[in-house]
Structure 1
Amino acid sequence: MNKFWIVLAHTYFTKLKSKSFLITTMITALLVFGVANLNHIIEFFSDDETKTVAVIDKTNKLYEPLKAQLKTSGKKDIDLQMFKGTEEKAKEKVQNGEWQAYVVLGYDDKQLPKAAYYAMTVADSDTLLQLEHALQQIKTTLATAKIGLSPEQVKELYEPVVFDKVALEKNAKTEEELNQARSLVYILLFAIYIFVIMYGNMITMEVATEKSSRVMEILISSASPVQQMFGKIFGVALLSLTQFILLFVIGYTSIKGNSEMTSIFGFEQIPVATLVYAVVFFLLGYFLYATLFALLGSLVSRIEEVQQMITPVTLLVVAAFFIAMFGLSDPEAPFITVTSFIPFFAPMIMFLRVGMLNVSIWEVALSIGLLVATISFFAYFGAKVYRGGVLMYGKTTSFKDIKKALQLTKK
């Protein structure tokens, strides 16, 4: 048992001190901090300069309503200016950089507003949309006036329908709580997906590297293959948990200090149960796939063969992630309920359900029980394959090599 702890500590501290881990963690932490403060970053780099847009009003009636409509909408970055000159003169001013653009207002054949927008480029979609929306409001007002509707009738017509959403289930989440839970669950699902693939690949690559350099022959003389396998799995698990906690703390504290992002991501009040389930399913999902990755890593002799061998397992993780993405919009779908009990999908799908719904304790317990049983089976089976697999050299042909590894274990 002492050798197991030596392998675990060696795996953990070697990876923890490696330049690749430190650089990756630093870059990821900066990205997390950047996303959490994205609104402040956008504001810092945004151009606050007012955009001057000239208006040639051929109707002599639309300029003032357009200006008033823009003011009503609260848009302050567009400065409308009436221009009495020709379109050729207006074009020169835009080309010289005096104006951002100019707009020609007129009436169509139904005597309703129409406009043409001229600028050096039409890439500034924000300005275009603001002007188009303001003119659309004016058109609606004129069109309704033509058919004899009063302003009160128009207001009543465009009032949103009253549509109350009432959940009859006891302690069911409100729509606001569901939206917040959806954002939080999405972030944690994405984290589980990335960490499982990244650190599962790390285990496979480490075993394959040791075998390809013949270091494995020295290692098995000092510690049994089973001790090596579980030492690496738990060592990398501690490493992933260290990085996960560090990044979560950075992201959580950054978002909590940003009221706008807090409301977007739903971090106003995170249920403790959701965080506990996130850690539980993260660890269970990691151990399930890490055992499989370690098993497959023991079968390859060259690093070049790693991706080919682990592709089926990687596709399982990808499938679980996409099923979870579908479940975010319909977590009560029968398909989601069924897959939440399948061990390969449960770490993401059951976590999705407990994060968004009131799931019975027995369902969660059953899912976790099936997961633990599957992990135990693969740990037992994987240890046997690993014991023989680390002694196999030569080109890996297929999963039939598992049978060869088991035969070597018996010798």
Structure 2
Amino acid sequence: MNNFFLILGHSYMSKLKAKSFIISTIIIAAALVLLANFDSVISSFTVDEGSRVAVQDETGKLYEPLLEQLEMMNSEIQLKPASESTKEIEKKIESEEYKGLLVLTESSDGLPQALYKSNSLSESAVTGELQAALQNVKSSLAAGKLDLSGEELSLLSAPVDFEKEALLEGAKSEEELSQARGIVYVLLFFIYFSVIAYANMTAMEVATEKSSRVMEILISSVSPVKQMFAKIIGIGLVGLTQLAVILGVGYFTLIRKKDELVGGFFEGFGFESLSLSVIIYAIIFFLLGYFLYATLAALLGSLVSRIEDVQQMIMPMTFLIMIGFFISMFGLGSPESGFVTVTSYIPFFTPMVMFLRVGMLNLPVYEPIIGILVLVVSIALLGVFGARVYRGGVLLYGKSNSYKDIKKAIDLTSKK
């Protein structure tokens, strides 16, 4: 047993000290800090002159109404009446003194139309605000032509009242569903990328030791099965360590800026109403998903003799993770569909699809428990099968990129 913990500790510490682990953790933590301070960072790069737009009002009556509409929209666009010629203004646009030139004219029916000139058409935010403001001006002018009052115009353009009511007791409201969809979306991405990264790390670890012939030395002192599970658990602990660091940075960053983050992005993604049960389920399904795929990755990694063959060997496993992720993305819009329900009990898809259903719906307690039991049984069965393949696979050398080698590995295990 001492050898088991020795390998486990070595797998954990070697990955913990690896530059790739340190750099990736720093990058993710920095991204969280940047996300929390995103508005401050963007505002620091904002230059007032960058939103200045020159206006040529050929009608002589559209500039003031347009300016009023932009003020009502709290727009940061600064309109400046153009006194220079068009060519002079275009030169100023090229030198970035102006963001663009807006030419206002009238159509044959007396309604406003516009031409916007700029260095490129990539500034969709500026053109979108200008178009929306001009649309309001057009609506007001059209209402005047039709002798409509302001109240009548508001009544005409007001959205229809459309309420939704769930008949099932305890069903989530539209607002709760929207918030749940946001937080589940974020956590699904985390589970998806984490499982891929750490499962791949497991396969690479096995293949690296085998290609360097270190495996032959280890086999003489420690059984291959102990090696496999020591590596899986060791790399799993690396994942938990990275998760703890990231969550710690995220927690203290959000606590420090909790007053500034009320509403907007923070509220839209459901972080204000994040429940403890969702976090617990996310951790459970992340761990079970990792152990399921890490066991499979260790099995596949033991069949290759060269590091270059690892990606080809584990590609079908990666596709399984991707399929589970895509099903979950589909389920965000239709979490109650029969297809999503059925696939949530298929072991290779359960970590993400069942978590989606738990986060989006008010499921009976037995459904996620069944999903957890399905994963636990699948991990146990795959562990038994994987141990047999691993025991013989580590003794296979030479070119190996075929799944037929699984049979060879089992035959070697039987002969031992």
TM range, normalised to the smaller chain?
over 0.9
**Does the Cα contact within 8 Å between 1:288 and 1:374 map onto a contact in 2?**
yes
Please list the CA deviations of residues 143-184 of structure 1 after superposition, one character each: whole Å capped at 9, or x if unmatched. Answer: 222223222111101111111122222222222221221111
**Does the Cα contact within 8 Å between 2:49 and 2:97 map onto a contact in 1?**
no
**What number of residue pairs does the alignment pair up?**
410
After superposition, the Cα gap between the structure-2 partners of 1:203 and 1:86, relative to the gap in structure 1 and judged at 3 Å, is closer
Q: 2:97 and 2:17 mapped to 1: Cα distance?
A: 57
Report which stretch shifted further, 255-264 or 228-237.
255-264
Report which stretch shifted further, 17-26 or 45-54.
45-54
Is 2:12 aligned against 1:12?
yes
Report which stretch shifted further, 100-109 or 339-348.
100-109
Please list the CA deviations of residues 260-284 of structure 1 after superposition, one character each: whole Å capped at 9, or x if unmatched. Answer: 4421322113211111101110010
Q: How does 1:308-387 map to 2 (within 5 A)?
A: 308-387=312-391
Q: How does 1:24-43 map to 2 (within 5 A)?
A: 24-43=24-43
TM-score (norm 1): 0.94
**Does the Cα contact within 8 Å between 2:51 and 2:76 map onto a contact in 1?**
no
**Which runs of no fewer than 5 residues in structure 1 stay unpaired?**
none
- Aligned twin of 1:248: 247
Q: Given residue 205 of structure 2, which amino acid in structure 1 is its aligned partner?
A: E
- Aligned twin of 1:286: 290
Percent identical across equivalent pairs? 51
- Aligned twin of 1:142: 141
Q: 2:302 and 2:141 mapped to 1: Cα distance?
A: 76
Q: 1:94 and 1:353 mapped to 2: Cα distance?
A: 52
**Does the Cα contact within 8 Å between 1:103 and 1:115 map onto a contact in 2?**
yes
**Which runs of no fewer than 5 residues in structure 2 stay unpaired?**
none
**Does the Cα contact within 8 Å between 2:180 and 2:270 map onto a contact in 1?**
yes
- Aligned twin of 1:265: 269
Pick from 389, 393, 396 the counterpart of residue 392 of structure 1.
396
After superposition, the Cα gap between the structure-2 partners of 1:55 and 1:32, relative to the gap in structure 1 and judged at 3 Å, is closer
Aligned to 2:198, what secondary structure does the other structure show?
helix
After superposition, the Cα gap between the structure-2 partners of 1:118 and 1:393, relative to the gap in structure 1 and judged at 3 Å, is closer
Q: How does 1:120-269 map to 2 (within 5 A)?
A: 120-256=119-255, 257=257, 258-259=261-262, 260-269=264-273
**Does the Cα contact within 8 Å between 1:203 and 1:293 map onto a contact in 2?**
yes
Please list the CA deviations of residues 78-99 of structure 1 after superposition, one character each: whole Å capped at 9, or x if unmatched. Answer: 133264x654565566567664
Alpha-carbon shift at residue 50 of structure 1 (Å): 6.6
Q: 1:226 and 1:121 mapped to 2: Cα distance?
A: 61
Q: 1:389 and 1:100 mapped to 2: Cα distance?
A: 64
Q: 1:385 and 1:323 mapped to 2: Cα distance?
A: 30
Is 2:310 aligned against 1:306?
yes
**Does the Cα contact within 8 Å between 2:53 and 2:77 map onto a contact in 1?**
no
Please list the CA deviations of residues 187-209 of structure 1 after superposition, one character each: whole Å capped at 9, or x if unmatched. Answer: 11111111111111111111111
After superposition, the Cα gap between the structure-2 partners of 1:77 and 1:106, relative to the gap in structure 1 and judged at 3 Å, is closer
**Does the Cα contact within 8 Å between 1:78 and 1:127 map onto a contact in 2?**
no
Q: 1:39 and 1:71 mapped to 2: Cα distance?
A: 21
After superposition, the Cα gap between the structure-2 partners of 1:80 and 1:227, relative to the gap in structure 1 and judged at 3 Å, is same
Provide the aligned C-alpha RMSD in A. Answer: 2.0
TM-score (norm 2): 0.93
Q: 1:300 and 1:211 mapped to 2: Cα distance?
A: 8
Q: 1:27 and 1:398 mapped to 2: Cα distance?
A: 36
